[in-house]
Amino acid sequence: MQSLMLRALKAHMVLLLSSVMFFTTGCEDDSHDDHDEEHTDADGFILEDESGTEIYREFEGAMTGGVALSVGETLELSVHFLDHEGNEIEHGDDHEEEEEEDHEDGLAISVLDPNIATVEVEHDHGHAIHVVGVSSGSTSFQLQLMHEGHADYTSTNNVPVTVNQ
């Protein structure tokens, strides 16, 4: 009798858990019809300098490169997000204009030691940041791609920054 009751309970639990998974996947706020189209499913990103040279890459947790600059120097870096195959995710002009107008969406930066380097988001140029060397030393920063108050992507590693005299 207990065995029969346990089987019935297991079946109900599987059904319940499956239902919960279907309802909790995706964004919680479905008030926008085109919300899924705006959601970025990134697995990494690239930082490129003004000449288009890749200086840092993070993809599926693996990283290469780092940011190096001198005290008083400012680097403008473009940020390119990568899909699950490592290809750049293309954003239309309309999406970038929305990000410029709504600073809740776009990039967010957390710098470990702003006494060594500061990192600021450049809202006028899509996904771009400015790194400024403040004093000699090493620090790092975390990058997030924000969308409607939550992060669509958060870097798994802190981006290393070295500031030389």
pLDDT of residue 27: 46
pLDDT of residue 24: 46
pLDDT of residue 148: 83
pLDDT of residue 15: 53
pLDDT of residue 21: 52
Residue 78, C-beta contacts closer than 8 angstroms, at least 6 positions apart: 47, 48, 125, 126, 127, 128
Residue 71, C-beta contacts closer than 8 angstroms, at least 6 positions apart: 133, 134, 135, 136, 163, 164, 165
pLDDT of residue 7: 61
Q: Are 158 and 144 in contact (CB under 8 A)?
A: no
Q: Are 89 and 109 in contact (CB under 8 A)?
A: no
Which letter does DSSP use for residue 125 in this model?
G
**Residue 99's CB: how many other CB atoms inside 10 A?**
22
Chunked into runs of 10 residues, the chain (165 residues) has average pLDDT values of 58 54 48 54 95 97 97 97 93 47 74 97 86 98 91 95 97
Q: Are 76 and 130 in contact (CB under 8 A)?
A: yes
Can you tell me the distance from the alpha carbon of 22 to that of 163, in angstroms, rounded to the nearest whole number? 48
Look at the alpha carbons of 32, 37, 40, 43 in this order and tell me if their dihedral is positive or negative: positive
Can you tell me the distance from the alpha carbon of 74 to that of 100, in angstroms, rounded to the nearest whole number? 22
The pTM for the full model equals 0.70
68 closest CA partner among 117, 122, 112 = 117
